[in-house]
Copies of this chain bind each other. A is one copy, B any other.
Amino acid sequence: MELQHKGRQSVEFFQPPSILSYAAVVGKKEGEGPLRSCFDQISEDSRFGQDTWEKAESELQKRALRCAMDKGGVETEDIDCIFSGDLLNQCVGSSFALRGLGVPSIGLYGACSTMAESLLLASMMLAGGFGFAAAAMTSSHFATAERQFRTPMEYGGQRTPTAQWTVTGSGAVILTAEGTGPYVTAATIGKVVDMGIKDVNNMGAAMAPAAYDTLKAHFDDLGRPPEYYDLIVTGDLGSVGRKIVVDFFQKDGVDISRVYNDCGLMIFDLKGQDVHAGGSGCGCSAAVLAGKLLDDVRTGKINRLLFAGTGSLQSPLSFQQGESIPAICHAVSICRERGGN
């Protein structure tokens, strides 16, 4: 068998899966940010018509998937597998969105790396010949994340300057084994990296080493320098983490700053929206990808995108037990042209 595996951590698809359609659904605050014109749906109601925050998060995923399916002209019976996950305990945001759909499903946990992780696995499934169409999706909700990871919202806790703001949003992407692009041409699977950061209000710093590790592996494994890409985005390191990644590469004599941005910095106006170090949450990179970035690739505004999802893998309990924060980053290369190098 011909191997589509390159270097230690990367794969390059001989028959790159094609992105058929995608959709982003977000909440009010995200709809007031700089990407307001990019989203498919913006809800003024942060409960999305549901009676709990958790059901609101499931509803976000349902709407994003439905919208992406409508845009692509596909029905549930056309989808061979949905890859999804979220930040909630036992990933109930995803599981409750999927019940009743009747579509084969694979549950993931990659924290805020989930959008990249789900794209990576969906692409492997299609490029391996295990199906015709797959969906990748994830979500986060400010209110479910605050309740679960931080303090009750009624408590009104002060946020530190390094803290990020969990995005209320969902992104869904439908991929097919063949199509007219954009194409997922390659991917790099991340390692769990833990540099000993223990401050859960500074996720950017905890995740930056994982982002550096995966990006470096991607460049090395595939022989693609940063300049290969028109845009490299992490999601979501915010302002603190982005700077650390730039610094790490600078120490290697590599300047990635010219082509590098972070989804957490793109979705909010950091000065005007009081979000401190930027956006975060699975839904942040998902909504930026499905709202803006894939459109930019489709329309040729950018030709080659490296989408690197970053997740911090601690739990509230592991934090209380004094543990440091392990992190992971998966990267997916999305190009307008089918061809690789």
Contact = CB atoms under 8 A, between A and B. Distances in A.
A126 to B, nearest CB: 9
Contact of A104 (B77, B191, B317): B191
Given A191-B101, A191-B103, A96 B1 contact: no
How many copies, total? 2
Range, interface on chain A: 35 or more
Contacts of A105: 189-192, 328
A92 B313 contact: yes
B124 A88 contact: no
A302 interface: no
Interface stretch (A3-11, A262-270, A290-298): A3-11
Contacts of A124: 124-125, 128, 130
Contacts of A194: 99-100
B190 A89 contact: no
Contacts of A317: 54, 88-89, 92
Interface in A101-136: 101-111, 117, 121, 124-125, 127-132
Contacts of A55: 321
Interface in A183-208: 189-194
